Amino acid sequence: MLNKYPMWKNIMVVLIIAIGCFYAVPNLFGEDHAVQVVATRGAEVTASTQARVNELLASKGIAVKRSELEKGQLLVRVQNADQQLLAKEVIAEALGDKFTVALNLAPATPKWLESMGGSPMKLGLDLRGGVHFLMEVDMGEAIRKMEEAKVADFRSQLREEKIRYAGIRINAQGIEIKFRDAESLASAERFLKSRSNDMVFSDVSKGEDFALQAVMSETYLKQVKEEALQQNITTIRNRVNELGVSEPVVQRQGAERIIVELPGVQDTARAKEILGATASIEFHMVDDKADANAAQAGRVPAGSEVYQRREGGQVVLKKEVMLTGDHITGAQPSFDQYSRPQVSINLDAKGGTIFSNVTKDNIGKPMATLFIEYKDSGERNADGSVKMLKIEEVISVATIQARLGRNFVITGLSHGEAQNLALLLRAGALIAPVSIVEERTIGPSLGAENIASGINAMLWSMGAVVLFMLIYYRAFGLIANIALTMNLVMIVGVMSMIPGAVLTLPGIAGMVLTIGMAVDGNVLIYERIRDEIRAGRSVQQAIQEGYANAFSSIADSNITTFITALILFAVGSGAVKGFAVTLMIGIATSMFTAIVGTRAIVNAVWGGKRIQTLSI
């Protein structure tokens, strides 16, 4: 029978549209203002933390809509933006520096809908907002690290050349090298000048104190700062990729600052913790011959230093660094045989050789893993830059049982810390600490004008198309309008289903364009049906031929547009990608609704019936 779908095909059409509608529904519930709490540095967010926070907010008169503790993170939903800001201040002051407290916008999707996989569509920074960070690179620390590297080079070079020196140290002016006599100083100056073109050497001897001052040249200093900024940008990009954020913005601002924008990000606390952290590790041998009581009293052997242990107490380590995190090529969180968190480390060839030699010569001796982190102290230096607080903690002390190679594990961490340390080590260490000097969680209010403009554009364009189709094609125009509405709902549903899809203002432009393209297919079909009726065919034959013969033209035009959108997605970035994604989804859904959807309705209304006229 002409123009009759089998039952399975009708069920398939209804099912696909129902799925699209289901995944579009979460977008109707909006978002809640929330405060997110994540533990750092050995702390844990527990049920008691949750109860404490809830009681604290209640005592301050802040109404809590919902408090959720999941995966070691606490999310507290409040009534409005004012209460959100107040809640953040109260919680941060009460919990201290072992917890990261951040603003968030949490989807207000009901739990039952979330449990079935429903989640709202992610909006870009220009619509929904997201997280904006302005980060400042500590150039003083970058220069200090480079000077430390130069000190190590000078020591090895002078030893190789067998030039005796009394000591090398870093002072306020640069690097000072002391000698016992003028002859050694002159020899060292000639030799180092020939080997270090990027340093400026000058004789600063006073009386019997023979000394050589080495200062970075202006060109080299500028190069060090530029490399520090560029390497930090690359590292932060890697960390953003680890966070899985779609269409991020990571770019420099001036000579020392970096802008990071994470549109549609939900886990703002984790983003702040990961991007702002400057974590690295060093391996030191434990000075097992040092007197612990004397060390606590301040009497530390030369060449050793006292460090705090994370679990409490102190330990004396030798200052010499056996291995740094620079040689780490891979890091994965895992568990040992007792289900305790650990980080599995992979070293490069050079690091593996160093570690092998160190452990071979120290079997049976204790070695410590030193965790180094820089945090914002809340104070400013004289030049206005952020004063960084250096935190050094021994996270594990283990006895070397056998010679180790390129693969080993670090223990003594909580599960969350193991996850974060592995991420930071994989993404690379920042060459210099960065501090977040400005943090903004950009809410919908800032994008309200863009959203209103986009919605108005869609409503006006859809209204014009709907009116035209009703007047020109009558009953068939109504069917096309129903399909057009379902097309928009399905675009929203598919965008909500794809984890990495983000709707931006250009994406709304893509939806507006799709409205015109969606009815374009129906226009081709309806005009072909009219032609067939004029040619003397029956109504049923005209419908059959109209859909069959117009398909090739619709497919050709949509496929070429889809390929163009795919190229835009492949070579574009940011807003261009957002437009391309929406356009590709719109093309796919419009072909389904314009061809299969309208055909199912037409078949249900007119299919298989003896009719003489058609409202088209």
Amino acid in position 182? A
Beginning with the edge strand found earlier in the chain, give each strand of the sheet holding 257-263 in spatial order: 249-253, 257-263, 130-137, 434-442
Q: Chain centroid to CA 277: how far? A: 13
Same fold, 31-107 and 140-221: yes
Quick one: CATH architecture of 277-440? 2-Layer Sandwich (3.30)
Kindly list the domain boundaries of the chain, sorted by start residue.
7-25+446-606, 31-107, 140-221, 277-440
123 with 503: CB under 8 angstroms?
yes
In sequence order, what are the beta bridge partners of 394?
309, 370
CB atoms within 10 A of CB 532: 19
395 with 373: CB under 8 angstroms?
no
Residues 370 and 309: their CA atoms lie apart, in Å, by: 9
pLDDT of residue 421: 66
Residues 214 and 201: their CA atoms lie apart, in Å, by: 5
Concatenated DSSP letters of 236-277? HHHHHHHHT-SS-EEEEETTTEEEEEEET-S-HHHHHHHHH-
pLDDT of residue 574: 64
Q: Give the CA count within 13 Å in the CB-facing half-sphere of 98.
A: 10
Q: Tell which residue, 82, 132, 84, has the closest CA to residue 106.
A: 84
Q: Give the CA count within 13 Å in the CB-facing half-sphere of 500.
A: 11
Task: Walk along the chain (616 residues) in steps of 10 and give the mean pLDDT of each run.
Answer: 81 92 89 80 78 90 88 84 87 81 80 85 74 85 82 84 88 89 89 87 87 90 85 76 63 86 65 64 84 75 83 84 76 80 80 84 85 69 68 81 79 70 62 77 65 83 90 90 92 84 82 84 90 88 88 88 90 77 90 90 85 80
pTM: 0.58
- CATH match for 7-25+446-606 among 2.40.70.10, 3.40.50.300, 3.40.50.1100, 1.20.1640.10: 1.20.1640.10
Tell me the two tokens of residue 29: 């519930």
431 with 232: CB under 8 angstroms?
yes
pLDDT of residue 270: 59
pLDDT of residue 489: 92
pLDDT of residue 566: 92
pLDDT of residue 236: 80
Quick one: CATH architecture of 31-107? 2-Layer Sandwich (3.30)
Instruction: Please name the fold of domain 140-221.
Output: Alpha-Beta Plaits (3.30.70)
Residues 577 and 571: their CA atoms lie apart, in Å, by: 8
Cα 506–Cα 507–Cα 512 angle in degrees, nearest 5? 95
Tell me the two tokens of residue 472: 């020109």
